[in-house]
Structure 1
Amino acid sequence: MTTEFLNEERDLPLPRQKKGIDHTQTEPVRGYFGVKDIFAFENVGFTRSSEGKRYLVCGECEQGPVGFVDTLTEMNYVTPERLAVQQTTNSPVEN
C-alpha cells in the first residue's frame, strides 16, 4: 500500500459556509496522511468534483471536507486537524 505524509499547506473549504458570499470560503490546513486506495481510510467518502477539485468527507455524517483527492497522482489525503479522535478503553467488564 502506498502511504505518505504530506507536510504542505493546502486550502480546504470551511466546513460551514457563510450565506450570501459568492465564493467558497477556505482556510489553510497543514499536514495530511495520504494513501492511494481511499478504502484504506475507515469510513471516508468523497464529493463530486467542484471547481475541478474533489474533497474527502466523513462517510458517517458527511461533515467535511476532511481532506482532498490529488487528481494528478490519484492520492487521497486526510488531515488530522479535521478529524475527531474517539478513544476507547480496554478495561475489563465487571460482573
Structure 2
Amino acid sequence: MTTEFLNEERDLPLPRQKKGIDHTQTEPVRGYFGVKDIFAFENVGFTRSSEGKRYLVCGECEQGPVGFVDTLTQMNYVTPERLAVQQTTNSPVEN
C-alpha cells in the first residue's frame, strides 16, 4: 500500500453548519494522509458530490468531513485534525 503525506492547506466544510447561512461554511485544515485505495482506511464513507467535490466521513457515525477525494488523481485524503484514534487490543502499533 502506497501512502503519502500532503502538507497543504485545504478548506473543509465545518462539521456543524450554522442555520440561516446560504453557503457552506469551511475552515482551512493543513496536513492529510493519502492513499489510492479507500479500503486502506478503516470505516470511511463518502459524501455525494457537492460543487464538484467529494468528502470522506466516518462510516460509523457519519460525522465529518474527515477528508476529501482528489477527483483528478482519485487519491483519498484524511486529516489527523478531524480523527479520534482508538487502539484496540488486536490492532498492531508500529514504532
Paired with 1:49 and 1:21, the residues of 2 have a C-alpha distance of 20
Paired with 1:59 and 1:85, the residues of 2 have a C-alpha distance of 14
Q: Name segments (4+ residues, structure 1) moved above 4 Å.
A: 88-95
Q: Any gaps of 5 or more consecutive residues in structure 1? A: none
Q: Percent identity?
A: 99
Q: Is the alpha carbon distance of 1:83 and 1:93 closer, same or farther for their aligned partners in structure 2, counting shifts above 3 Å?
A: closer
SS class of match (1:31): strand
- Normalising by the residue count of structure 1, what TM-score does the alignment of the two structures yield? 0.90
Q: Any gaps of 5 or more consecutive residues in structure 2? A: none
Once the two structures are superposed, residues 38-82 of structure 1 have per-residue CA deviations (whole angstroms, 9 ceiling, x without a partner) of: 000000001110010000000000000000000000000000000
Find the structure with the greater CA-based Rg.
Answer: 1
- Normalising by the residue count of structure 2, what TM-score does the alignment of the two structures yield? 0.90
Paired with 1:52 and 1:90, the residues of 2 have a C-alpha distance of 39
Paired with 2:41 and 2:6, the residues of 1 have a C-alpha distance of 16
User: What is the CA distance between 1:92 and its match in structure 2?
Assistant: 16
Indicate the residue corresponding to 2:3 in structure 1. 3
CA RMSD of aligned residues (A): 4.9
SS class of match (2:28): strand
User: What is the CA distance between 1:87 and its match in structure 2?
Assistant: 3.7
Q: Is the alpha carbon distance of 1:89 and 1:11 closer, same or farther for their aligned partners in structure 2, counting shifts above 3 Å?
A: same
